[in-house]
Structure 1
């Protein structure tokens, strides 16, 4: 069974927001709304100056987590929110009644109502691209080469990214080594998020 996911190496993410901009451009996301947000975590301590080696921060991209057991699908009264065989959570906008039950139930606040169309929208993992064997646009355009796409059942080492938006690279070959304890998810409230985050040598605060 395929379970598509994105792995982000937070030690490589520079907070350039290219992923958010590329996502808005290719998916025509309205002004003021985002399918992909980048949060700044930290600084972890007061910055005393250039010699303060204890202070650090990192950037955390947040989008639909394409959960294994998504709350949004459970509460949708019309079946508009649904899971595909590839593990992604999608929205059939032609049937959406705009009730926003799914948006209210999402633990990550990554859905919104497109008021012009009267339908709820969110990240689709660029369904239109991955169906053609392409990478999601946020992965393809990642300036820090920190984002990788693939199937969890094939192992994170096989996930692919793009070097300068062109040559394909794999997480296993390109990224620094990491331990199992360096791999994290956003808070799991029995929904089992699919996206993964790698963070080495820093305190993970994405579960808060």
Structure 2
């Protein structure tokens, strides 16, 4: 089995939203829905009105961080949140009672209520769609025109993501919390 992660070369992000649209299409989420599964945040706007600008490093793609030590999994009273065989944090909608403990425990604000199933949902690295069909990329990586995202097996030393993480400096969001996220931001 693999242990999946994603590296984000976030300085290449142009905020085109192609990743968000591809994710929503792949997972049947309404296109107008805000901040579901994945999103691109804007960090800062520089200058003084009316001379404002957004630098390319101001866009920060985000999603579930797929923590190895996930607070959302620890607090789930019904074990609806679980790790699958590839270490991906998933939600079993049949067990979810919508208590929102996981939503409150997630320090990345990566969970939301799916109106279709009336359960909590989140990014699954396309494990129940693309990976289940034998594909090796996520919808968001596959569609990104500037190649921001690199998805792969962290345990395979020859995988593209492993090589990137060995050769490029990177950081994880809120690493001080001990969640051990598997999203890595390349610097």
TM-score, normalization by structure 1: 0.76
1:145 aligned residue: 147
Deviates more, 1:23-32 or 1:70-79: 23-32
Q: Supply the distance in 2 between the matched residues of 1:122 and 1:156 (Cα, whole angstroms).
A: 29
Larger Rg over CA atoms: 1
Moved over 3 A (4+): 47-50
- 3-state SS of the aligned residue for 1:143? coil
Give the conservation status (yes or no) of the 8 Å contact 2:152–2:159.
Answer: no
- 3-state SS of the aligned residue for 1:159? helix
The Cα of 1:36 is off from its aligned counterpart by: 0.4
Q: Supply the distance in 2 between the matched residues of 1:70 and 1:86 (Cα, whole angstroms).
A: 14
Q: Does 1:185 align with 2:185?
A: no
2:96 aligned residue: 96
Q: Supply the distance in 1 between the matched residues of 2:79 and 2:142 (Cα, whole angstroms).
A: 31
User: CA 1:56/1:117 → structure 2, altered by over 3 Å: closer, same or farther?
Assistant: closer
The Cα of 1:11 is off from its aligned counterpart by: 2.4
- 3-state SS of the aligned residue for 2:74? helix
2:126 aligned residue: 126
User: CA 1:102/1:41 → structure 2, altered by over 3 Å: closer, same or farther?
Assistant: same
Q: Structure 2 unaligned segments of length 5 or more: list them.
A: none
1:159 to 158, 161, 174: 161
The Cα of 1:178 is off from its aligned counterpart by: 5.8
CA distances 1:27-84 after superposition (whole Å, capped 9, x unpaired): 01244341101011224x426999x9xx664311110011001000000001110012
1:205 aligned residue: none
Equivalent runs, 1:43-82 vs 2, <5 Å = 43=45, 45-46=46-47, 57-82=57-82
2:109 aligned residue: 109
Q: How many residues align?
A: 179
Q: Supply the distance in 2 between the matched residues of 1:116 and 1:151 (Cα, whole angstroms).
A: 31
Q: Supply the distance in 1 between the matched residues of 2:158 and 2:65 (Cα, whole angstroms).
A: 16
User: CA 1:49/1:157 → structure 2, altered by over 3 Å: closer, same or farther?
Assistant: farther
TM-score, normalization by structure 2: 0.84
- 3-state SS of the aligned residue for 2:90? strand
